[in-house]
Chain A
Amino acid sequence: MSGRILVVDDEPEIRRALRTGLGYHAFEVRTVETGGEALTQAAGWRPDVVLLDLGLPGMSGFEVLAQLRQRGNRAAVIVVSVMPDETDKVRALDLGADDYVVKPFGMEELSARIRAVLRRQTAAAVDGEPVVRAGDLELDLARREVKVGNRLVHFTPTEYELLRYLALHAGKPVTHSTLLRQVWGEHAVGDTYNTRYVVAQIRKKLADNVAQPRYIVNEPGVGYRLKV
């Protein structure tokens, strides 16, 4: 799988390493140093994935992300941060980032993440059919039915809505606040025990082992991700 990757980072050494490493993985790579250059390249070169460092001097990564989305740029954005601070991840995801990677990272891990977002992009472009699949989990959006293998599983309306939202964004981390807003409404944002409780119920019905989850992965401090 190949694709165009735009690397935005102010550290010259990491730009050099990524240019070489991602090149070995057969990606087409361009690197820029500032947010302003990132916006220009994103508009002109049309990358598939933007690897965006959040700690840029001057225009911050958050600002670049917000502007990209404001201008309707559909490139997948993976934010990269040295800070293990979860509020940054949540903020970036809520601004429209597709995934995040914490520095320092290995090249294998990074290219796996890039491939995953590229796959999701292609899948989203192709389908549009009313059935969402994630492993042996199958959601029929028209009939509001959920099947595991061929077994029909019954969910409460809240559980179904939460699962549906995760399924529509399969593979992508979805924040607690997004789930609360989408499933319960604006007033529920902040009450994160709601999502935890409902996810625990869904897990029980799907017979999903929390230690080795087949369907829903917990992203501590951030939210949940439906495995693809």
Chain B
Amino acid sequence: MRERWPVGSALPYAAAALGVAAITAAIGLVRPWAELPNLTVAYLLLVLLLGARYGWPSAVSAALLAFLAYDWFLVPPYGTLWISAPRELLNLVVLVLAALAGGRLAASLAAREAGAVAEAQESGILYELAIAALREPVEAPALARLCERAVTPGGLEAMSLVAGDSRQAEVVAGAALTPTEVAESRVAMAARQDRGAVLRDGLLAFAPRVSGKSSAAFVVLGGGVAVLKPPRHRLNADQRRLLAALLGLAGLLLDRRRTAAISEHVRALEASDRLKAAVLSSVSHELKSPLASLRAGLTTLQMPQAGLTPDQRELVTGLNHQTTRLDRLVGDLLAMSRLEAGLPIEQQPQELDELVGAVLVGLRPVLEPFTLQIEIESGLPPVLADELQIERVLTNLLENAVEWTRPGAAITVGAQSRDSQIEAWVQNNGPAIPGEDLEQIFDKFWTNRRGGSGLGLAICRRIIEAHGGSIRADNTPDGPRFTFRLPTAHQAIEAAR
């Protein structure tokens, strides 16, 4: 890597002047004895050396000095810059041109060599860091080493890496930061905007220092932000390239760190899903078992063989109804908890008419007193649905309809294909729903029916929304209608055929 000279850039020019003086003196000493034709070649050698060592400006100044010195001391008439012989003039012009070309060539070769050395060093550093990162499952040591490399040979005053997001940030490697700097890191991450420095064309570029602001620069990376303290002097191109590469690597490592944190979080969530499911199933067992005993006992007492008096039998029938109601309430509460626990649903292609059929068969005793109308369009594409959940929606909507319909009146179940979705509805010809209730009716615990849990329709909405569908209530001229929409499963049907 090329070094800059902090004492100033006088040395190359001093070397040029000394070199030219020495060569001029040597030529002056040698010439009386040996009449050599082209002693100017010695200057050329000097120019090439200076070009290789200090670069192009010092080579040019040496060439010009050589021109002047040779003309003054060694070309007749001596002591003047006047040139009498055209041959000597040509000699000098050739010397200057050769010096210029040669010096330039040597300088660029030297620069290229220095660049190659710098690149080799840079690859070495990146290789070392990458290996460290791969070898250690935790990124911290690799990140710490990376921050050290950003200082030496990267040339920064200090570097720190901050992981996190706009809400919380944590210094994971490098120098400690002030609370203000950590807060500024969070701001940079939230805005996803660099401050004070930027990565451009594979180089790190610092913006001009803004007075009054903290001296640190913030570069946003994949999984965090790098906080850089720029040095007082300017960084050279190799250092800026190395720093850009280091920041790239830091971005990858922070990203890996974040991914690991996310998968850890997901594992924890899955464990909590399993726990929730276990708790819910244990709670349902505890709540349902006594109900099961009650129902079995009460329905046994209702049998003629039990020999109860009519009064007693009436009492038992009432208790049995209450038990059934309690069972439904417990079922609704458990269903709601299951939905609120966010346990996953299983969406598969389903024939909607099959689902409606299953629900109608299950509810046959309840639906007996009503006139049932089915208006399902034939050849409907399958819906993408969780069979049991949609069965629950249809059951709840039908039970709701039953509550509001006079015996003998009509309850309609319909479905049609609409805008590449399936629209299904349950309609009863009970009283219209007051306008202000049409939206609230789906809220949890909202009910205007005595003994209603206020959960049935809320459960419907949760389920339909979890399917990516929508549900609404309207008043039609024939009575209130509850309509829901579900996505179709076109691709699945293609695959099955």
Chain A interface (Cβ < 8 Å from any Cβ of B) = 11, 13-14, 16-18, 20-21, 24, 55, 82-86, 103-108, 110, 191-194, 196-197, 199-200, 209-213, 217-221
Contact = CB atoms under 8 A, between A and B. Distances in A.
Contacts of B297: 13, 16-17
Given A106-B295, A200-B351, A24 B305 contact: yes
A211 B372 contact: yes
B399 interface: no
A106 to B, nearest CB: 4
B357 interface: yes
Interface stretch (B103-111, B124-132, B242-250, B280-288): B280-288
Nearest to A217: B361
Contacts of A107: 296, 299-300, 302-303
B327 interface: yes
Given A193-B382, A193-B492, A220-B387, A210 B353 contact: yes
B61 interface: no
A219 B358 CA distance: 7
A208 B290 CA distance: 40
Contacts of A24: 300, 303, 305-306
A24 B302 CA distance: 11
B471 interface: no
B391 interface: yes
A10 to B, nearest CB: 9
Contacts of B492: 193
B382 A104 contact: no
Given A21-B296, A193-B496, A199 B354 contact: yes
Contact of B300 (A20, A86, A219): A20
Given A210-B356, A211-B374, A104 B327 contact: yes
Interface in B161-202: none
A221 B388 contact: yes
B257 to A, nearest CB: 37
Contacts of B281: 83, 85
A17 B289 CA distance: 13
Nearest to B286: A82
Contact of A103 (B289, B348, B349, B388): B289
Contact of A11 (B293, B353, B372, B496): B293
B493 interface: yes
A191 B299 contact: no
Nearest to B320: A106
A212 B354 contact: no
B447 interface: no
A21 B285 contact: no
Contacts of A104: 288, 291-292, 294-296, 323, 327
Contacts of A211: 353, 356-357, 360, 372, 374, 413
Contact of A83 (B284, B300, B327): B284
A220 B391 contact: yes
18 contacts: A11-B292, A13-B293, A17-B293, A17-B296, A82-B284, A82-B288, A82-B292, A83-B281, A103-B288, A103-B291, A105-B292, A106-B295, A106-B296, A107-B303, A196-B354, A209-B357, A211-B353, A220-B359
A210 B289 contact: no
A194 B374 CA distance: 25
Nearest to A199: B354
Given A16-B297, A82-B285, A211-B360, 5 more contacts: A20-B300, A21-B300, A193-B348, A193-B489, A218-B361
B355 interface: yes
Nearest to A194: B496
Nearest to A208: B357
Interface centre among A16, A83, A110, A210 (most CB of B within 10 A): A210
A210 B354 contact: yes
Interface in B344-393: 348-351, 353-361, 372, 374, 382, 387-388, 391
Nearest to B378: A204
B292 A103 contact: yes
Contacts of A86: 388
Interface string B411-452: 001000000000000000000000000000000000000000
